[in-house]
């Protein structure tokens, strides 16, 4: 069906939600919390609801007038958004393709985020909540899902069990970087969290490598779900106040299913920017309630501008910037997502040679700068080009210029001085995300 987006009139804020509106252009409004910090209004322009098989091919199509004669389908359809047992992401969404309806009481109206500097300070000393619903979520299902992802990315999925997780890197056959994915091993599927700019291409790439005999299903569940990150040293206190204490101190990627104020949510240790903090994954119907609960317990709201600054300060590489076909996975220093001991997988031969023959010639570093300079500027030492700047931010209070860049290993390392863009002085520094990476060897 198709939908028209618009702005909610004041009179609509208390209107009841009607899952089966009449066949009329004046049908009652439907509300969604994706993302949670503003309200989106939908008007149905078609009264046909389609049901699909797991293969995503149309199975049946009914109009509302036919549903009364099929009470079992009508009841199932009405129950779907509201009666999924946790985890909502681990349920088989593919049979019904209806968008989730959000109760009016769970909507979040437009609200101002804290200033970037307030949020960045809280990320260092307190706790912040960030809406990452624009990040991609890919559900990999089917009996062969473990072996499939084991062969298509760099991590060892065969050593993981339900409730665990890891980072894995999608690379080209020559180990050039595409994206890092945060993977959670659930009961019926593996959920992958990827960058918003790579979700579609990674989904298509995975589908391309499914053979006829493979029992694997790829489903983009981004629009049916929401995701928040809880970041900062006070994240554990927020979790304690919410009663989610049994994840505190657990390994990165560990996840469990909870109820927050009556709404089902999947919570995991770590997030896309750090092994510390937590991720919250839920249906759109639960997002408003969970967001309000985190804010009520003291989490400061962080907007997209501050999040990009925080990403650079933390040293988390991003597609199109640090992750391109110009750099390989070990130059990006993504060791935590790489297994050197598992069987054949895409990019393995190149990675094996790089490790065996010490072939990593450059690596990603943080660079503290004396002033701002353009992305792409050359990094030089003694007048010779030794690298390239890939990201930059003005930093907190626009007074602490900081960048990420690749530098040749023999030219400079931590603590050394470099020149960026011809005249800007830079100091090479370690950054938290890359400092967490544990360099591996064949031995």
333 pLDDT higher than 70: yes
What's the domain range around 223? 116-313
CATH code for position 391: 2.40.30.110
> Poorest-confidence range of 50-54, 186-190, 260-264, 411-415?
50-54
Query: Residue 90: which pLDDT band, with cuts at 50, 70 and 90?
Result: low
Same domain, 284 and 194: yes
Assess if residue 344 is contained within a domain. no
Same domain, 299 and 380: no
Residue 80 has a pLDDT of 35
Tokens of 167: 């980072």
110 pLDDT higher than 60: no
Query: Residue 420: which pLDDT band, with cuts at 50, 70 and 90?
Result: very high
Query: Residue 61: which pLDDT band, with cuts at 50, 70 and 90?
Result: very low
282 CA to centre of own chain? 12
**Where a domain ends, among 56, 78, 106?**
106
Q: 158 or 51, which is more confident?
A: 158
Same domain, 420 and 271: no
Assess if residue 320 is contained within a domain. no
Same domain, 269 and 409: no
Q: How far, in Å, CA of 366 to CA of 387, rounded? A: 12
Query: Residue 344: which pLDDT band, with cuts at 50, 70 and 90?
Result: confident
Assess if residue 229 is contained within a domain. yes
- List pLDDT tens digits, range 130-152: 999 999 999 999 999 999 999 99
User: How much of the chain, in percent, has pLDDT values that exceed 70?
Assistant: 74
In degrees to the nearest 10, what's the CA dihedral of 155, 226, 145, 436? 10
Burial class (CB in 10 A: 0-12, 13-18, 19+), 357: exposed
> Which residue, 257, 261, 265, 258, is CA-closest to 289?
261
**Where a domain ends, among 313, 331, 352?**
313
Q: What are phi and psi of 162, to 5 degrees?
A: -55, 135
3-state secondary structure (DSSP) of residue 433 = helix
Same domain, 366 and 303: no
13 pLDDT higher than 50: no
Assess if residue 327 is contained within a domain. no
Residue 114 has a pLDDT of 76
Same domain, 122 and 33: no
267 pLDDT higher than 60: yes
Q: How far, in Å, CA of 178 to CA of 152, rounded? A: 12
Provide mean pLDDT across the span 347-365.
95
> Strands 424-429 and 384-393, how do they pair?
unpaired
* Average pLDDT in the chain: 80
How far is CA 203 from each of CA 63, 141, 206, 207, rounded to the nearest angstrom?
31, 13, 5, 6
Same domain, 197 and 307: yes
Q: How far, in Å, CA of 227 to CA of 293, rounded? A: 14
Q: How far, in Å, CA of 425 to CA of 373, rounded? A: 10
CATH code for position 199: 3.30.1360.120
Same domain, 49 and 122: no
Assess if residue 440 is contained within a domain. no
Same domain, 123 and 270: yes
285 pLDDT higher than 70: yes
**Where a domain ends, among 58, 77, 106?**
106
Number of domains composing the chain: 3
21 pLDDT higher than 50: no
User: How much of the chain, in percent, has pLDDT values that exceed 90?
Assistant: 70
> Poorest-confidence range of 9-23, 179-193, 358-372?
9-23
Same domain, 75 and 163: no
Same domain, 76 and 180: no
Query: Residue 442: which pLDDT band, with cuts at 50, 70 and 90?
Result: low
12 pLDDT higher than 50: no
Same domain, 136 and 278: yes
Assess if residue 328 is contained within a domain. no
Assess if residue 149 is contained within a domain. yes
329 pLDDT higher than 70: yes
Provide mean pLDDT across the span 317-344.
95
Assess if residue 49 is contained within a domain. yes
Residue 56 has a pLDDT of 32
């Amino acid at each position: 069906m198709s939908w028209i987006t618009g702005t909610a009139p004041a009179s609509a804020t208390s209107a009841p939600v009607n899952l089966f509106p009449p066949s009329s252009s004046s049908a009652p409004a439907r509300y969604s919390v994706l993302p949670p910090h503003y309200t989106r209004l939908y008007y149905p322009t078609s009264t046909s609801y389609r049901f699909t098989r797991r293969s995503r091919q149309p199975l049946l199509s009914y109009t509302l007038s036919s549903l009364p004669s099929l009470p079992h389908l009508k009841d199932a359809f009405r129950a779907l958004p509201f009666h999924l047992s946790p985890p909502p992401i681990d349920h088989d969404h593919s049979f019904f393709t209806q968008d989730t309806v959000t109760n009016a009481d769970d909507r979040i109206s437009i609200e101002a985020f804290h200033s970037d500097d307030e949020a960045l300070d809280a990320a260092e000393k307190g706790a912040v909540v960030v809406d990452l619903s624009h990040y991609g979520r890919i559900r990999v299902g089917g009996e062969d899902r473990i072996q499939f992802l084991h062969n298509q990315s760099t991590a060892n999925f065969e050593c993981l069990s339900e409730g665990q997780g890891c980072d894995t890197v999608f690379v080209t056959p020559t180990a050039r970087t595409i994206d890092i994915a945060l993977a959670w091993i659930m009961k019926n599927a593996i959920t992958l969290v990827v960058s918003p700019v790579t979700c579609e291409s990674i989904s298509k790439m995975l589908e391309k490598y499914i053979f006829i005999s493979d029992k694997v299903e790829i489903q983009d569940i981004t629009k049916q779900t929401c995701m928040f990150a809880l970041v900062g040293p006070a994240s554990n206190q927020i979790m304690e106040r919410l009663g989610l204490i049994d994840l505190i101190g657990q390994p990165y990627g560990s996840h469990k299913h909870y109820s927050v104020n009556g709404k089902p949510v999947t919570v995991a240790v770590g997030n896309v920017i750090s092994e510390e903090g937590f991720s919250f994954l839920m249906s759109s119907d639960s997002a408003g309630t969970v967001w309000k609960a985190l804010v009520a317990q003291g989490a400061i709201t962080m907007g997209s501008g501050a999040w990009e600054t925080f990403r650079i300060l933390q040293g988390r590489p991003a597609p199109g910037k640090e992750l391109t076909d110009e750099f390989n996975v070990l130059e990006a220093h993504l060791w935590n997502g790489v297994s050197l001991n598992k069987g054949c997988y895409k990019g393995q031969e190149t990675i094996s040679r790089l490790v065996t023959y010490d072939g990593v010639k450059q690596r990603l570093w943080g660079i503290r700068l004396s002033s701002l300079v353009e992305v792409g500027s050359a990094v030089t030492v003694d007048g010779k080009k030794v690298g390239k700047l890939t990201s930059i931010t003005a930093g907190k209070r626009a007074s602490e210029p900081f960048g990420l860049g690749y530098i040749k290993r023999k030219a400079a390392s931590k603590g050394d001085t470099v020149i960026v863009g011809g005249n800007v002085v830079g100091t090479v520094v370690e950054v938290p995300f890359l400092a967490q990476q544990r360099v591996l060897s064949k031995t």
